Structure 1
Amino acid sequence: MMSQSEHFSYGNETEIEDIGGGLKRQMLGYNKELMAVKIWFDKGATGYNHAHRHSQVTYIVEGEFHFNIDGVTKVLKAGDSCFMPPHADHGATSPTGGILIDTFSPAREDFVDDL
């Protein structure tokens, strides 16, 4: 059983998973301690509010996002980022559509089968 991704991945060869609700996800790299994921939001799509045990940093690649972290909402655009500590309630909506890079520590076990 594999417990980490390949050392190199190519965007045009790595699977892009439709996770529903106008969101798509592509694994960029991971092991048990760290994970990076690219997320596409269609215009108006929402990443529902949720919480998990992982620390998370999100970097906005393109588009505009309204991020809610523990009841505080901020508008973030390309080049901005945010940090969600473990168990923080958070979610995001993209009125324009856009792309995020999410990093998690430890890795999100629910995103891959081999952790």
Structure 2
Amino acid sequence: MSKQSSHFISGTEAEIVDLGGGLKRQMLGYNHELMMVKVWFAKGAEGYVHKHRHSQVTYVEEGEFHFNIGGEIKVLKPGDSCLIPPFVEHGAVCPTGGILIDTFSPAREDFLED
């Protein structure tokens, strides 16, 4: 992947993409090694169980999330975070509506294919 974001990204100007199912995503910065993404969940929205080759760290900015990582379910609230190793199945349900900050290494190439 040869794409890279600008050095400075304005949260008020960066595009917010509606993914459907009550999810929206905003790219906060990336290069081939690292990516940060802001994800909005509507009340009751679900990030379906999936897996990928990337290491992921997620920070809960707002709301309550029921995370499933490798079959273990924990409730995470603002200020909490989780580590998702490569190829481990994971997903989350947000009963309250909320916001996550996801980081990926390497960057998620599939997020840039539009």
**Aligned equivalent of 1:55:** 55
**Aligned equivalent of 1:81:** 81
**Aligned equivalent of 2:65:** 65
Task: Among all aligned residue pairs of Structure 1 and Structure 2, give the percentage whose two residues are the same amino acid.
Answer: 73
Name the count of aligned residue pairs. Answer: 114
Q: CA deviation at 1:11?
A: 0.9
1:18 matches 2:31: no
Q: CA deviation at 1:102?
A: 0.2
Residues 2 and 32, structure 2, Cα contact 8 Å, conserved in 1? no
Residues 54 and 87, structure 2, Cα contact 8 Å, conserved in 1? yes
Distance 2:14 2:74 in 1: 32
Identify if the C-alpha distance between structure 1 residues 2 and 86 changes in structure 2 by more than 3 Å, giving closer, same or farther: closer
- What amino acid maps onto 2:38 in structure 1? K
TM-score for the superposition, normalised by structure 2: 0.97
Q: CA deviation at 1:40?
A: 0.1
- What amino acid maps onto 2:88 in structure 1? A
**Unaligned stretches of 5+ in structure 1?**
none
**Unaligned stretches of 5+ in structure 2?**
none
**Where has structure 1 moved over 6 Å in runs of 4 or more?**
none
Q: CA deviation at 1:3?
A: 1.5
- What amino acid maps onto 2:65 in structure 1? F
Deviations along 1:63-99, whole A, 9 cap, x unmatched?
A: 0000000000000000000000000000000000000
**Aligned equivalent of 2:33:** 33
1:92 aligns to what SS in structure 2? Answer: strand
Distance 2:37 2:87 in 1: 19
Distance 1:4 1:18 in 2: 22
User: Where in structure 2 are the equivalents of 1:82-101 lying within 5 Å?
Assistant: 82-101=82-101
TM-score for the superposition, normalised by structure 1: 0.96
